[in-house]
Amino acid sequence: MGSDVPQTAQTPETVLNMLLNSPSPAPRLSEIGTVAEVGDGVAIVAGLEQALSDELLQFSSGVQGIVLDLEPGRLGVVLLGPSSRVTIGESVVRTHRVVSTRVGDALLGRVVNALGIPCDDKGPIRAQTVRPVEAEAPQILDRLAISRPLATGIKVIDAAVPIGLGQRQLIIGDRQTGKTSLAVDAILNQKNSDVICIYCAIGQRGDAVAKVIGAIDDGGMSDRTIVLAAGDEDAAGLAYVAPYAALTIAEHFAGECKDVLVILDDLTHHARSYREISLLLRRPPGREAFPGDIFYIHARLLERAGQFASGGSITVLPVVETPAENLSAYIPTNLISITDGQIYLSPRLMRKNQFPAVDLGVSVSRVGGKAQTKAFRSVAGNLRVTLSQFEELEDFARFGTRLDDETRARLTRGAAVRAALRQADRDPMPAVEQLAVLVAAIEGQFDGLNEAETGRAVIRLRKAAARDLPDLVKRIAENASLTEEDRSRMVALGRAARVYAGGENGTKS
């Protein structure tokens, strides 16, 4: 049965009377500015007197920009898109918000730009949460002391230059010394951990970023890694924003009590992008034409890392390039003073076919030693002493001076230890294998072997350690110390590996 309630028909006159009698909406004021000048990556905007610093502006051409300079009657705006699309006279409106990026689990396994927009062919990103790229660093009371190690799988780093979760450890060296490779290996070694990785490429060529993405995919870490790319062909504003966006994404995961590893590759390009922007905005140049606040932009970025009381942590490995081994250059010295240590990759060691080319005389970790496991700590001291004595004697022996037996023995031992520290790219090692190789080398099991024999002995020893020392794996994870029995077992495995490699009149089986 239908309803007996009569339906009142609304005539057009009734609707019109309702609209006329309803209260009128409040007026909405909107400021509209115009582009007065446009350059390579920046624009000068007039007419937006109420705009705020760091506010995001929307150009009618679709390009966005960040207010960086506030001057009477004009705004200096950094463009986040191609300046070729912006024309003089086009309208600009305020957005009343700051530049933000997408965050969340939906970004895992994706390649995005600084604004969280996908750069791969995997479709749109369904992340609904956005956060400002700028944020205040946590206060002292919100932090904890660094006490947990971050395993990189690289012998020379885990033993002699350890990194702790929440540390800021600088990777520094000349061009083509393996800085990016070192950082990628650290990412690949997190396959057996719960650490989430963010690789931020700043000013890198597209093919270089593609190689890193391929290595991460091949290493099985793509599902827990976010690649944030601001290429050399992108606007300088995107390169400037990129590392801040990477830390914003990391802070989201750290807020969920997760550990995050962030690679900033590299801050030299970031500093150059900011210098380019500043000069185009006609800011006063300082040393090497960098603006006066170049130290502050990196300090406020890296201070956002740490071990937090909430349970999460952000570990940052910033990369910086040195010009011709000049560690006292402007940007490198700034970053050395901000970070908690540095890993220096030496071209001199590269020429000696030493990979990774970590110079332990210059490299240092100021807080990672407190997070280093006891097993590695018992090996690290002897490793540094052996190598430092060897390098001093090596330089002295070049003069052809007659050497006594003790000096020759030290030279032989140092050369063997340095050879044992060689490690191929994309081959991170478990802790027990690292310790077995280091103990065997320090105890002289590789003395007198040539490069090929040492390589065979190390491979043999790694297999034997993985097979014969399963009990030690658990004890190392529980932060137990190496006993004399443990060292003796490692030395015995090293002796067998030496015989296999052809040393001591042995023949390779």
Type of residue at 73: G
Alpha carbon 366 to chain centroid, angstroms: 18
Cβ 464 vs Cβ 424: under 8 Å: no
Cβ 227 vs Cβ 212: under 8 Å: yes
Alpha carbon 410 to chain centroid, angstroms: 37
Extended beta strands in 212-321, E state? 225-230, 259-265, 306-307, 313-321
Buried b (16+ CB within 10 A) or exposed e, 131-154: bebbeebbeeeebeebebbbbbbb
Alpha-carbon distance of 288 to 274, in angstroms, equals 13
Question: 220: closest CA among 263, 189, 251?
Answer: 189
Q: What tokens were used for 502?
A: 């052809």
484 CB neighbour count, 10 Å cutoff: 7
State the catalytic residue, choosing from 74, 143, 272, 366.
Answer: 366
Q: What tokens were used for 88?
A: 């003089």
Kindly report whether the peptide bond that precedes residue 266 is cis, defined as omega within 30 degrees of 0. Answer: yes
Partners of 225 in the beta sheet? 197
Alpha-carbon distance of 191 to 475, in angstroms, equals 20
Give CA angle at 483 (481, 487), nearest 5°: 115
Q: Is 366 a catalytic residue?
A: yes
11 CB neighbour count, 10 Å cutoff: 9
Alpha-carbon distance of 22 to 390, in angstroms, equals 90
Q: What tokens were used for 94?
A: 């305020």
**Helix/strand/coil for 295:** helix
Partners of 26 in the beta sheet? none
Element (H, E) at 484: helix 484-501
Active site residue ranges? 366
